[in-house]
Chains A and B, each alone.
Chain A
Amino acid sequence: DAGVIQSPRHEVTEMGQEVTLRCKPISGHDYLFWYRQTMMRGLELLIYFNNNVPIDDSGMPEDRFSAKMPNASFSTLKIQPSEPRDSAVYFCASSRGRLYEQYFGPGTRLTVT
């Protein structure tokens, strides 16, 4: 079975542009998590969904960030407008009812110039 799939793997964009990151969770998993990882702050949870419903978005840094999960197989994280401080690696993870067993995707490395 394929693991968590993320696209694109790398994204370089200019400040002010819209960025959309995509995630396909593992089939059958009912939880989906979006994380951001930087050297300074480590791994931070941005938002998570349960059965496609956003449960906790308290980690979303600003209104410029939004996330959707229109169905069980797909989620997006959008940044509009992007800023250089958004540069980070963004991970998507999924799990089947067990918080302690999350499976991470390969990440999207975002660079905003």
Chain B
Amino acid sequence: QKEVEQDPGPLSVPEGAIVSLNCTYSNSAFQYFMWYRQYSRKGPELLMYTYSSGNKEDGRFTAQVDKSSKYISLFIRDSQPSDSATYLCAMTPPAGTASKLTFGTGTRLQVTL
């Protein structure tokens, strides 16, 4: 079983829809939770990071962490064609352990006109 599970998609939604992207994880000791956006043939770009359970909002994006369920989500409101990309979740290990991120495999999102 992978430490982080993420549905690869593709997920296709119409412009203006609310998008929900999710990851589940098995290691309860993960500390920080990140979402990266990767456009085709580009490097991943950090969108948001959160530390504790709860919500964090940045414009049209909201990151949600539920540590009790080991579940994280990224919501995109009023989705735009420019949001079409692959979204990767990532997590940091506990402090004092190896400094590696654990990535999900990514969900490909397509927002259609």
**Residue of A4, A43, A105, A107 most packed against chain B (CB within 10 A):** A43
Determine whether the beta carbon of A101 is less than 8 Å from that of B100: no
Interface residues of B, dominant DSSP: loop
Residues of A within 8 A of B1 (CB): none
- Cβ of B49 under 8 Å from chain A: yes
Determine whether the beta carbon of B99 is less than 8 Å from that of A99: yes
How far, in whole Å, are A104 and B98 apart by their CA atoms in the complex? 20
Residues of B within 8 A of A42 (CB): 103-106
Residues of A within 8 A of B32 (CB): 99-100
Interface residues of B in 55-113 (CB under 8 A from A): 88, 90, 92, 98-101, 103-106
Q: Do A56 and B43 form a contact, CB below 8 Å, given A99-B92, A100-B92?
A: no
Q: Do A56 and B44 form a contact, CB below 8 Å, given A42-B105, A99-B32?
A: no
Determine whether the beta carbon of A104 is less than 8 Å from that of B100: no
Residues of A within 8 A of B36 (CB): 104
Q: Which residue of A lies closest to B2 (CB)?
A: A42
- Cβ of B23 under 8 Å from chain A: no
Determine whether the beta carbon of A104 is less than 8 Å from that of B49: no
How far, in whole Å, are A107 and B49 apart by their CA atoms in the complex? 22
Interface residues of B in 12-50 (CB under 8 A from A): 32, 34, 36, 41-46, 49
- Cβ of A66 under 8 Å from chain B: no
Quote the shortest CB–CB distance from A60 to chain B (angstroms): 13
Quote the shortest CB–CB distance from B60 to chain A (angstroms): 21
Residues of A within 8 A of B34 (CB): 100
Residues of B within 8 A of A4 (CB): 43
CB contact between A106 and one of B43, B92, B99, B105 (< 8 Å): that residue: B43
Q: Do A107 and B43 form a contact, CB below 8 Å, given A99-B92, A100-B34?
A: yes
CB contact between A31 and one of B42, B92, B99 (< 8 Å): that residue: B99
B→A interface (CB under 8 Å): 32, 34, 36, 41-46, 49, 88, 90, 92, 98-101, 103-106
9 contacts between A and B (CB under 8 A): A42-B105, A45-B100, A45-B101, A99-B99, A103-B46, A104-B43, A106-B42, A107-B41, A107-B42
